[in-house]
Structure 1
Amino acid sequence: MASASSLQARLSAALPQGVDVVAYHISTPPTSASALFAPVPGQSEETTHCESHFLAISSPQRDDVKEVIVFAIEILIFTTQSLTTLFVSKADSAGFSSRLNAPRQSPSVVAAITATFIEYLLGPRLSTTRVILSLFARSQNQYLFPGSIENAGKHVLDDCQLIKWWCRVTDRVLRLYSDKTDPPFRSTAHLVVPGCDKAETRAFFPASSRQDLPSDPVWINSYPVELLVADTSRPPRHLVPRLPDDPKSRFLDDLDGDFMDNGGRWRSVKNLDQFWEMMSYRQECSAGRLVGFLWLVFSQGQTSHASLADLDQASYMGNTVAALAQESLPTPGNSPLGEDGDLPVQPQPLSELEMIGELTSPPSSSPLERVHEELRNGSAEESTARASSILAGAATNREPSQELSQQYQETQGELVLDAAQYQTLMNHLLQTDFAGEELAAANTKSWIQKALELSSIPRFGIPIRGRYVVAESGGLEKSALPQVNVLTGIRKKRKAEAVDDGTAALDTTPNPSAPAVNTLAAGLLRKKPRS
């Protein structure tokens, strides 16, 4: 319930005053899942855990007005030893946002809820090595609410509008973490729109990107493969994640079905550039609409992103040093008895810095050299077993199970279901009908009752009252408006106002109600000389 209260406080602070909603947050505990990246032939899949988070927002019941779900979003979180990926699986509105009675000048309620929920799930996980927020923007009539396209209040954005909307919403989260925050972060956004060149893709970037230094851009037109995969020399099928219900995942499956040799290479697509070029010809990306693929990358304590290979190497070395340090400390279990049956004199324990110094001093100046030393001493079987034990201990220490459990507990839903129950509840929602308020209200009630039935809890749903005060200007300060260069107050020249040097007369009297502008002073415009 603590996590629910935290989400409640965040949503309350983000929603405008006068907006009352009920939030339904459902989650599943981390469970084993298929790896996002296909393993190289002959290698096992990377250990991966997945947890699901679903947030539904409804307009509360008032007198004779029934409760109706107005918006919902699903986010899946995949965790491996070196990478945490938050994937926005689905987001959809039901066409009843007007029931929230938001102030006329207030920002988008749906955008505020979306950004807040993403940041709520993202925050506790930013302490891990590398965190990715991934999504694809594809315009569609309905995702979560069958029949909702028939509601007059549902505003479906076209492909370009939807990509820009997601860029603006995620930029709010991105700007929360930078080199100026404590702790500092290197945070970048990477956008790929198959079929669009770099100039066309930049048109989708949020307005804030124009304030970033060209030498250090925050928004980039690229697929950040080196930030997602440790070995980028692998064939392209091993460099692109397979996320649920994702257009590129379906393309990967089709390429695997056409041809794949023993080394995991395709016949038609040889590299990532060809993969993204071919994506532009897929029906999902070429049937008169665009699809945007977006990745937000967060690296804590860095001024520039290190490749995942470098991070993996640093993590491996650090954990191996810790394992070797533990092995080097004498204990009753590994200290042999003396000839008289007495324990030898126990040396004083070393400090952490002294241990590192001992481990990094010659002749063994690195963990790998320590392994080689073990192999050189004793019999081959004993040495091999000893070296394997050291590396296995380091690998065990790198398992994120305890940290993953703590992260989940901080953000678990008000209602916790297992994977099977969660899927049952999602299927129930996808089989409802939200065409019209009467059907939507009936199916909202049906979905809530199904959740209570699966969980066996007496009540479900957290009421939230908005506290955000909306400024008269709609939340946008005049100082934030871009400065423009215009000619103001130009009047037709009159004979009495003709100036001896032939310049046109400009009215430069400032207008106190107009935004600050740069004006051209008199004397800079000259008449064309008569021939």
Structure 2
Amino acid sequence: MNFRDHLLAALNTLPDVREFYIHVLVTAPAKDNSLYPYASPRPRLYVQDILVLLSEQANPDSPRLLVAAIEACIYLAPATDCAILYMSKIDSTGQGLAPPPTANLVRAFIRWYADPATRPVAARHLWVQLFARAQRQYLFPNSSDYPAKRPLSDARLCAWWQRVFNQVGADMREAVGGEGRVEMYYVLPGHNELEAQQVMGGASFPSTSTATPQWLYGHPYTQTKIPLPCSPPEGLHNLGHYIPSFEDDPKNRFMDEIAFTDTPVSPRKRPRTDTPRDTGDGPESQDRERDKDKKDLPMGELGKVGLDEFWERMSFRQECVVGAVTGFFSIGISVSEDRVPSPRPSPLAPQPGQVPRSMNRRILSTLLTGVEFSTPERARKATDLIEGTVRGLCEGLAPKLPPPRSKNQNAEATRDFLAPSLPKTPPRRRSDLPPVNDVSPNPFDEPEATLETYKAHIFGSITVSNPPLRPKAAASGTITEGSTGDNPGDKTKINVLAVRKKKRRPDA
């Protein structure tokens, strides 16, 4: 079973009769050293971009509409035998049947990479990380205008992610066995553990099941049970070795400010002397040694700010102080050496079903700037365009894409990101970041998306035929079982309580 079929199988348990269509785009590995820009030396990583698009058709006469999407990245650090799965964005349109398939899809997505039996990267240790911040839309522009879409509030979104991780953690505890280890961490900046439990409605309380790992309130960067992807140097504290810089994550902006605080200015070069050669103990040799020592020192205050202080100060960041609840979630899975394939394949070795990175970027750009999902008709046109573009690129065709929306046309789609209560992480000062060393070219050719790849790994469908979801009976007993109570035409049993009138006294 490949990745696509694994995701489709997870949808087979959903209630009602409907058909799902999925597109899974996983890029080939590429060398990357930008995840830890302030580490010295920078670790050599390999990254893959992942994009999953799920559409639904309620019946043969109804149109096919996109209902859910996942954008993620998987990083591999061979030096520490670690991998990081970063869940970048999850979104839904609300234009499918209830219940939506998003939770099933996300759980199956994480399990594929977390389970050592199906993990496509050769690493003993995996960290799944995400930043939960409530937005009305992430990947489907104007989908918040559709009345049936009900975005979760900030606290409910954090509770939703914790329920997802609870189920994944229980599955992984069973999969890794007694020799493996599963650790789960979460922190809501600006809240202590008791406040976080109250905000999330009790979802974060310790589980009574022995199969589910216990949640630890806090960050995972001081623990030593599961190795971290970027091992810190011995005897030298550098915050840049602990905190990864993911896209659209407030931690990277904060790291920039810490790194460029009190950064020492490089001294002026000394004038050249007439000495014919350096004897090894002159001023030039001393300058070289001094420059070498400074090169290894952390930038700014990265060597002064501790990990606990970093997370304490995160609660005062813009994204965490405007009243909205945000959360950082991490789950670590570690297995023994015999659970990893031997010999290890090359991190850059091509695998079946992979596509070039340019293809993912083109599809994602079209999704974010070329279509919208405010109405079923617009969602139908957007679904046809996106799915047709994926197939056309695999067939070697170049479909004509609509031009990106102008700033005025795109203002409505981005208004949620500009709202004060739902802040967006400001862009990074990339011009000030340390220079990236040139990486050597990939010895393998860029994969080519073909029609065979499309049929075997990218596109797939499944027909779900299960009994409809049984609605919950009201606790008061005024709604009979089998009725939703949402439709005025439902036959409901209403118990009318008669009001007992007080008898008037004869002498009144």
| TM-score bin, normalised by smaller chain | 0.5 to 0.7
Q: Could you tell me which of 291, 295, 298 is aligned with 2:326?
A: 291
* Equivalence map 1:373-522=2 (5 Å): 401-402=345-346, 405=349, 409=351, 416-431=354-369, 432-456=371-395, 457=450, 461-466=459-464
In structure 2, the CA distance between the partners of 1:238 and 1:230, relative to structure 1 (3 Å rule), is closer
Q: Which of 227, 230, 242 is the aligned partner of 2:245?
A: 242
Higher helix share: 1
Partner of 2:127: 132
The one of 48, 63, 66 aligned to 1:66: 63
Deviation string 1:200-246 (CA, Å, 9 cap, x unpaired) is 23444746733168xx9620012111442533752223311111221
CA distance in 2, matches of 1:398, 1:40: 30
Residues 188/438 of structure 1: CA separation in 2 closer, same or farther (3 Å cut): same
Work out the CA distance in 2 between the residues paired with 1:70 and 1:51: 24
Please state whether the residue corresponding to 2:103 is helix, strand or coil: helix
SS at match of 2:183: strand
Quote how far apart the aligned CAs of 1:439 are.
Answer: 0.9
Shift of 1:2: 4.4
- Counterpart of 2:433 in structure 1 is none
Distance of aligned partners of 1:61 and 1:219 in 2 relative to their CA distance in 1, 3 Å threshold: closer
Which residue of the other structure, out of 254, 258, 272, is the alignment partner of 1:255?
258
Measured after TM superposition, the shift of residue 39 of structure 1 is 5.0
Given the alignment of the two structures, is residue 113 of structure 1 paired with residue 112 of structure 2, yes or no?
A: no
Residue 35 of structure 2 aligns to a residue whose secondary structure is coil
1:230 matched to which residue of 2? 231
- The separation in 2 between residues aligned to 1:178 and 1:34, in whole angstroms, is 32
- The answer on whether the counterparts of 1:132 and 1:298 sit within 8 Å (CA) in structure 2 is yes
Q: Which runs of 5+ in 2 are unaligned?
A: 265-293, 396-449, 473-508
| DSSP 3-state at the match of 1:100 | coil
Is 1:4 paired with 2:4?
Answer: yes
CA distance 1:140–1:473, shift in 2 (3 Å): closer
Q: CA deviation at 1:259?
A: 3.7
User: For residue 217 of structure 2, what is the aligned residue in structure 1?
Assistant: 221
Tell me how far apart the structure 1 counterparts of residues 343 and 314 of structure 2 sit (CA, whole Å).
35
- Which amino acid in structure 1 is aligned with residue 329 of structure 2? L
Matched, 1:18 2:13: no
* Corresponding position: 1:147 with 2:142: yes
The Cα of 1:6 is off from its aligned counterpart by 3.7
Checking the alignment, whether the CA contact within 8 Å between 2:28 and 2:348 is kept in structure 1 is no
| Structure 2 residue 275 is the aligned partner of structure 1 residue 279 | no
Partners of 2:7 and 2:105 within 8 A in 1: no
2:261 pairs with 1:264: no
Of structures 1 and 2, the larger Rg is shown by: 1
The aligned counterpart of 2:43 is 46
* Letter aligned with residue 110 of structure 2: I
Could you list the runs of 5+ residues in structure 1 that have no partner in the other structure? 103-107, 302-313, 316-396, 475-531
Equivalents in 1 of 2:147, 2:306: separation in Å?
45
What's the counterpart of residue 188 of structure 2?
A: 193
Equivalent residues of 1:138, 1:159 under 8 A apart:
yes
Partner amino acid, structure 2, of 1:426: L
Equivalent residue letter for 1:27: V
Secondary structure in structure 1 of the residue aligned to 2:257: helix
Question: Given the alignment of the two structures, is residue 178 of structure 1 paired with residue 173 of structure 2, yes or no?
Answer: yes
CA distance, structure 2, for counterparts of residue 443 and residue 179 of structure 1: 41
Deviation at 1:429, TM superposition (A): 0.5
Cα deviation 1:90-136 (Å, max 9, x = unaligned) = 1001121xx3355xxxxx53211211122123322387321111111
2:206 corresponds to: 209
Query: Aligned with 1:466: secondary structure?
Result: strand
Taking structure 1 as the reference length, what is the TM-score of the superposition? Answer: 0.62
Q: Distance in 2 between matches of 1:120 and 1:467?
A: 24
Task: Give 2:389's aligned amino acid.
Answer: K
Tell me, yes or no, if the aligned pair for 2:43 and 2:77 is still in contact at 8 Å.
yes
Asked whether the 8 Å contact 1:15–1:113 carries over to 2, the reply is no
| Cα shift at 1:293 | 0.5
- Mapped partners of 1:114, 1:217: distance in 2: 19
Structure 1 residues 429 and 469 mapped into 2: Cα distance closer, same or farther (>3 Å)? Answer: same
Inter-CA distance 255–3: structure 2 relative to 1 (3 Å threshold): same
Match of 1:323 in 2: none
* Residues 209 and 218, structure 1, Cα contact 8 Å, conserved in 2: yes
* Cα offsets for 1:15-35 (capped at 9, x unmatched): 335232111111101111124
Counterpart CA distance in 1 for 2:102 and 2:39 is: 41
CA 1:266–1:201 in 2, change beyond 3 Å: closer, same or farther? Answer: farther
One-letter amino acid of the structure 2 residue matched with residue 235 of structure 1 = N
Q: Deviations over 1:259-281 (max 9, x none)?
A: 44542143496211221122111
Distance 1:267 1:46, change over 3 A: closer
Match of 2:114 among 116, 119, 122: 122
Q: AA paired with 2:362?
A: T
CA distance in structure 1 between the aligned counterparts of 2:192 and 2:459, rounded to whole angstroms: 45
Aligned residue type for 1:5: D
Q: Contact 1:132–1:295 at 8 Å: present in 2 too?
A: yes
Instruction: With the length of structure 2 as denominator, give the TM-score of the two structures.
Output: 0.64
Residue by residue, what CA displacement relative to the aligned partner does 1:344-396 show, whole Å, maximum 9, x if unpaired? xxxxxxxxxxxxxxxxxxxxxxxxxxxxxxxxxxxxxxxxxxxxxxxxxxxxx
Distance 2:21 2:386 in 1: 14
**1: CA distance between counterparts of 2:32 and 2:255?**
18
- Secondary structure in 1 aligned to 2:173? coil
Identical aligned residues as a percent: 25
Counterpart residue number, 1:374: none
- Residues 189 and 297 in structure 1, CA contact (< 8 A), matched pair in contact too: yes
TM-aligned CA deviation for residue 249 of structure 1: 1.4
- Give a deviation string over 1:281-318, Cα, whole Å, max 9, x none: 111111111210000011124xxxxxxxxxxxx99xxx
